[in-house]
Amino acid sequence: MNRQQHGAVMIMVLWTAVVMTILVTVLAANIRLSATTAFHNKAGNQDYAAVMATLHKAEMELMMERMQVPVGQELTLNDDGEFRIPAYRFNGQPLTLNYAADDDMVVRIYDHAGKINLNRMERDRMQRIIEKRLGEGFDPREVQALLAAWEDWTDLNSLLTPGGAEDDYYQSLETPYTARNVPEFDTVEELRLIRGFDELFADVNLEAAFTIYGTGSAVNPNLASREALRLLPGLDDDLVEEIIAHREQTDFRAIREVGEIVPLEGMVELSPWLGFNTSSFYSVYAYPARDNNNDGDAGDNAVQSQDPVAADPVQQAMMQIMEVRSFNNRARIYQVNPYARLPDTTPARIDR
Q: Domain residues for 110?
A: 1-115+219-352
338 in a domain, yes or no?
A: yes
Report whether pLDDT(296) > 50. no
Report whether pLDDT(291) > 90. no
Report whether pLDDT(309) > 80. no
pLDDT value at residue 308: 41
**Average pLDDT of the residues in 152-165:** 94
Q: Alpha-carbon distance 85 to 87, whole Å?
A: 6
Burial grade of 35 (CB within 10 A; 0-12, 13-18, 19 or more): exposed
Q: Which residue has the higher pLDDT, 26 or 311?
A: 26
State how beta strands 316-323 and 281-288 pair: antiparallel
Burial grade of 90 (CB within 10 A; 0-12, 13-18, 19 or more): buried
Report whether pLDDT(138) > 80. yes
159 in a domain, yes or no?
A: no
Grade residue 41 by pLDDT with cuts at 50, 70 and 90: confident
Helix (H, G, I), strand (E, B) or coil at 329: coil
Q: Are 275 and 112 in contact (CB under 8 A)?
A: no
189 in a domain, yes or no?
A: no
Of residues 305, 319, 290, 317, the one with CA closest to residue 248: 305
Of residues 116, 209, 196, the one with CA closest to residue 150: 196
Give, in degrees to the nearest 5, the angle at Cα 194 between 320 and 240.
60
Domain total in the chain:
1
pLDDT value at residue 298: 42
Grade residue 293 by pLDDT with cuts at 50, 70 and 90: low
Q: What is the pLDDT of residues 187-197, one digit of tens each?
A: 999 999 999 99
73 in a domain, yes or no?
A: yes
Q: Are 59 and 284 in contact (CB under 8 A)?
A: yes
Q: Alpha-carbon distance 19 to 109, whole Å?
A: 59
Percentage above 90 pLDDT, the chain: 68
Q: Which amino acid is at 5?
A: Q
Q: Are 334 and 323 in contact (CB under 8 A)?
A: yes
323 in a domain, yes or no?
A: yes
131 in a domain, yes or no?
A: no
Q: Alpha-carbon distance 280 to 329, whole Å?
A: 13
Please tell me whether the overall predicted TM-score, pTM, comes out greater than 0.75 for this model.
yes
Report whether pLDDT(154) > 70. yes
Q: What is the pLDDT of residues 161-189, one digit of tens each?
A: 999 999 999 999 999 999 999 999 999 99
264 in a domain, yes or no?
A: yes
Q: Alpha-carbon distance 149 to 162, whole Å?
A: 9
Q: Which of 130-134, 296-300, 338-342 has the lowest mean pLDDT?
A: 296-300
State how beta strands 210-211 and 116-117 pair: parallel
pLDDT value at residue 197: 98
pLDDT value at residue 313: 82
63 in a domain, yes or no?
A: yes
Q: Are 227 and 200 in contact (CB under 8 A)?
A: no
Beta bridge partners of 110: 91, 283
